[in-house]
Amino acid sequence: MATDVHRPVISQAVHVEGLTRSFDGRAVIDDLRLDVRPGEFVVLLGRSGCGKSTLLRILAGLDRDIEGTVLVPRRKAVAFQAPRLMPWKKVWRNVLLGLPGKPERAVAEQALDEVGLGHRSNAWPKTLSGGEAQRASLARALVREPDLLLLDEPFGALDALTRIKAQRLVGELWQRRGCAVLLVTHDVEEAVLLADRVLVMDGGVIAHEQRIGLDRPRDITDPRFAALRAGLLERLGVEATAAEAA
Ligand SMILES: Nc1ncnc2c1ncn2[C@@H]1O[C@H](COP(=O)(O)OP(=O)(O)OP(=O)(O)O)[C@@H](O)[C@H]1O
């Protein structure tokens, strides 16, 4: 099959067909198919080591040693669990890092404002809290004005309260920006809170798909929320407690 990576597409934000990625002769991704609509929020769940990060890295263009077809928009951005800020550059310079041309500081400050970090624009990365550093990393993604935002466990290292705030922020940014989002997480509640569609990866493919038809903002005390959460946990091989399943 032809390998056709990173050509801009219009009808889908992501179109993946027949994707295979092997390490040492073992296919971690094995003939995978995936479509994401423009503006859709998709969450990818799966057991540790099932290939979620590998898939995200391929979509981000960071791994091209693949077979199959991968079509994604030219404007895409990625944020990882570790914010990956350069310690020797002020926050605003980090936000502009790698952008083509000579973008003005105001471009960074607008994105920092959008994530509630405008007041730390001139700070050094080491003076930021974990949540602030993660927001700076999001601002760096936003200045790219992505049609596709790829998020690899961006809240994984945050404490519970900061995590809730960061989840809300990503939900708001997505609604404001209208870009497609593909978010990798281990957190089933986060998936039901944010996603239009949750995908469960297993055996190198998308093994299960769950639409989340609940209105936003979502109410975690809604019994339908609990039922979706329990259903996904079951898919992941985790028994929900009786209280959770109720
Ligand atoms: N560069 C590499 N070289 C060899 N094996 C790799 C490489 N990258 C990933 N793998 C292997 O591919 C498999 C999938 O890894 P990946 O990081 O995509 O999983 P994951 O689903 O994101 O896991 P987690 O949820 O724990 O982050 C693992 O078995 C991993 O060891």
pLDDT value at 161 more than 80: yes
For residue 155, what pLDDT is reported? 86
Query: What is the Å distance from ligand 1's center to 34 Cα?
Result: 19
Q: pTM for the whole thing? A: 0.91
Bridging pattern class, strands 67-71 and 4-5? parallel
Please spell the DSSP secondary structure of 183-231, one letter per residue: EE-S-HHHHHHH-SEEEEEETTEEEEEEE----SS--TTSHHHHHHHHH
Contact (Cβ atoms closer than 8 angstroms) between residue 195 and residue 155: no
Q: What is the pLDDT of residue 163?
A: 87
pLDDT of 242 over the 70 cut: no
Domains and CATH numbers, the chain: 37-64+147-234 (3.40.50.300), 85-145 (no CATH)
ipTM over 0.90: yes
Q: What is the CA radius of gyration of the chain?
A: 18
- Where does ligand 1 bind, in terms of residues with CB under 6 Å? 23, 28, 46, 48-54
Pick from 45, 74, 187: which is nearest to 56 by CA? 45
Question: Half-sphere exposure (CA, 13 Å, Cβ side) for 220?
Answer: 9
Query: Whose alpha carbon is nearest atom 17 of ligand 1?
Result: 53
CA distance 79 to 133: 11
Q: Per residue in 18-30, pLDDT tens?
A: 999 999 999 999 9
Q: Sort 117 into a burial class: Cβ within 10 Å, 0-12 / 13-18 / 19+.
A: buried
Give the atom of ligand 1 at the shortest distance from the alpha carbon of 46. Answer: 21
Count of C-beta atoms within a 10 Å radius of residue 9 = 16
- pLDDT tens digits along 100-141: 888 999 999 999 999 999 999 999 999 999 889 999 999 999
Q: Ligand 1, atom 8: nearest CA belongs to which residue?
A: 54
Judged by DSSP in three states, 89 sits in coil
In sign, the C-alpha dihedral spanning 213, 185, 228, 30 is positive
